Amino acid sequence: MKQHPLCTDCENPATPLDLPIPAALKQQWASVETRRRFLGRSGKVLGWAALAALFGQTGLRSYADGEEATSGEAPNRTSLPHFAPKAKRAIYLFMSGGPPQMDLFDYKPQLASQFDKDMPDSIRGNQQLTGMTAGQARFPVAPPHWPFGQHGETGAWVSDLLPYTARMVDDLTIIKTLNTDAINHEPAIMLMNTGNMNAGKPCLGAWLAYGLGSMNDNLPTFIVLQTKTNPKENNQPVSSRLWSSGFLSSEFAGVGLRSGADPVLYLADPAGVDRNVRREMLDTVEQINRQTLADVGDPEINSRIAQYEMAFRMQSSVPELVDLTREPQSTWDLYGLEARQPGTFAYNCLLARRMAERGVRFTQIYKRGWDVHGDVVGTLPILCGETDRGAYALVTDLKRRGLLDDTLVIWAGEFGRTVYSQGGLTKDNYGRDHHPRCFTAWMAGGGVRPGITYGQTDEYSYNVVKDPVHVRDFNATILHCLGIDHNQFTYKFQGLDQKLTSPVPASVVQGLLA
């Protein structure tokens, strides 16, 4: 793969002196700063892994162990990544609302004969249902409305609703037995993203930003993209706590990249301020700040100078990122013309590829609307139409560019849906309630085994019968692909070694790995 000029990651770890700051300033840093001070500040730009590697056993550790809080001496240093990563970056296509697994991937041909028959009580057991269907007197089976077909060399079954996804099944690792603890959106989407149903914990992207740092001096480490909502769909909300840094420093939180004039909030200079004026302003501010530094001796001032410079660079690098005018025709052939329209899923997928090239560590694209309590027949084709091609194009594009080998692509929602119908069931329509016990996700690229379908559910796509993958296991596996041992990747907060996969033990799903 050819290195994109804006991606500053390379096999040789960067040094703090590679920071894009004036040479004179670097000299000044070296003289004023203690080494510790210096490290503490530059880590956010370089990533703790790089720093740890740089400074070896000097007694300074990455954020990741942090037991210094109570013991006087430094314990063993944990270096990140813990082992050679298969993936350097990840792109997470988050299907918020809970896609119905039995309509898309979890093929159950025998359901056709069960139309409107009651799902046996034994299948449901003593499950506490949501308030929306708990009162239903009956739980009639709603077989999927659309036919399935076998695809690729591996012969994976995929619904006809996903013709593009069907083309790439040989690249996918399809997991049918993902399962979660929560039956409602708020807790489930939190659990999926942060490993905990309650607010306050860092999300996967923040953990990665904190642990692995940036591969780019001009763009945020962790970027979140929202897909435009479609009023025909039931758009469950998302919130900034899904990309928050929780108890980690807030610099690791996801930065929203927005469609429109200001791709990053407050990025654009105000009306009447051009680049020269901005440069002049920054030079003056820096000059005075350096004087203040000399006067007061507060080393934080160095950091402030560097952050202003980074802000200035972002003002150019972000517009460059979202400028699609130089994309070749082949891009539009692959992604479709929808990708020209900011805010569409296809557009976001294209941006995700451009960010991968430029060294963004983690990109998460939210697509809302999968909460199909009613009118599955009416809405599901719309949802699939919006997302199928973009996801396919992204994986294919990454593959063509040689980026798929070290990029992990993930497609998942927060839970699945019930095989029984919520509300009325007719031949042409049905609804599906939330279902935590099994749902389907897929991964592709760095670290995972392509062309497999993992796990097995019962004939009602209701219970896992073989190879369950809990959300925590799923997250442990994602971290593994990125070179991180989820058990060692901890941060001391409130006296505990907090981790993405706590508190119940989780394990990497070996069967998913390449």
Q: What distance in Å separates the CA atoms of residue 418 and residue 261, rounded to the nearest whole number?
A: 41
Query: Least CB distance from residue 59 to another protein, whole Å?
Result: 7
Candidates 134, 113, 116; CA nearest to 124 is: 134
Q: Which position among 115, 146, 308, 332 is part of the footprint of another protein (CB under 8 A)?
A: 308
**Residues 62-121 contacting another protein, CB under 8 A:** 63, 66-76, 121
Q: Does 5 bind another protein (CB under 8 A)?
A: no
What is the spatial distance between Cα 215 and Cα 316, in angstroms, rounded to a whole number? Answer: 17
Task: Tell whether residue 232 is a contact of another protein (CB under 8 A).
Answer: yes
If one asks whether residue 478 binds another protein (CB under 8 A), the answer comes out as no
Q: How far apart are the C-alpha atoms of 83 and 142, rounded to whole Å?
A: 46
131 interacts with another protein by CB under 8 A:
yes
Closer to another protein by Cβ: residue 110 or 510:
510
Q: How far is the CB of 36 from another protein (least distance, A)?
A: 6
Please state, in angstroms and rounded to a whole number, the distance separating the CA atoms of residues 439 and 428: 23
Contacts (CB under 8 A) with another protein, residues 24-53: 32, 34, 36-37, 39-41, 43-44
| Residues of span 314-353 touching another protein by CB under 8 A | 314-315
Question: Cβ of residue 115: shortest distance to another protein, in angstroms?
Answer: 16
Could you give the CA distance from residue 54 to residue 35 in angstroms, rounded to a whole number? 12
Q: Does 510 bind another protein (CB under 8 A)?
A: no
90, 91, 238, 412: which one contacts another protein (CB under 8 A)? 238
The nearest distance, CB 504 to another protein, in angstroms, is 8
Question: Among all chains, which residue has been given the structure tokens 């162990």?
Answer: 65
Stretch that binds another protein, among 127-135, 320-328, 402-410, 454-462 (CB under 8 A): 127-135
Closest by Cα among 467, 453, 468 to 175: 453
Q: How far is the CB of 27 from another protein (least distance, A)?
A: 16
Q: CB of 202 within 8 A of CB of 479?
A: no
Q: Which of 24, 59, 55 is nearest to 42 (CA)?
A: 55
SS3 (DSSP) at 408: strand
For the record, the structure tokens of 51 come out as 């720093």
Closer residue to another protein in complex, CB, 125/147: 125
Report the nearest approach of another protein to the CB of residue 200 (Å). 5
Residue 481: CB atoms within 10 A of its CB come to 25
Please identify, using beta-carbon distances, which residue of 150 and 284 lies nearer to another protein. 284
Cβ nearer to another protein, comparing 315 with 456: 315
Under the binding rule (CB under 8 A), the answer on residue 122 touching another protein is no
Amino acid at 369: G
Close Cβ partners of 447 (under 8 Å, ≥ 6 residues apart): 85, 86, 87, 408, 480, 481, 482, 513, 514
Nearer of residues 124 and 449 to another protein, judged by Cβ: 124
Residue number with CB closer to another protein (172 or 301): 301
By CB under 8 A, is residue 299 in contact with another protein?
Answer: yes
Tokens of 110: 């025998």
For residue 293 the two structure tokens come to: 């530094």
Nearest distance from residue 43's CB to another protein, in Å?
A: 8
Residue 59 touches another protein, criterion: CB under 8 A: yes
Q: Are strands 407-412 and 89-95 parallel, antiparallel or unpaired?
A: parallel
Q: Tokens 């760095």 belong to which residue?
A: 446
**Which of 412, 417, 413 has its CA nearest to residue 374?**
417
CB of 496 to another protein, least distance (A): 6
Is 184 an interacting residue with respect to another protein (CB under 8 A)?
A: yes
Q: How far is the CB of 298 from another protein (least distance, A)?
A: 6
Alpha helices in 234-344 (DSSP H): 275-296, 300-322, 329-335
> CA-CA distance, 89 to 205, in Å (whole number)?
10
Q: Which of residues 242-271 bind another protein (CB under 8 A)?
A: 244, 247-251, 255, 258, 260, 262, 264-271
CB of 340 to another protein, least distance (A): 19
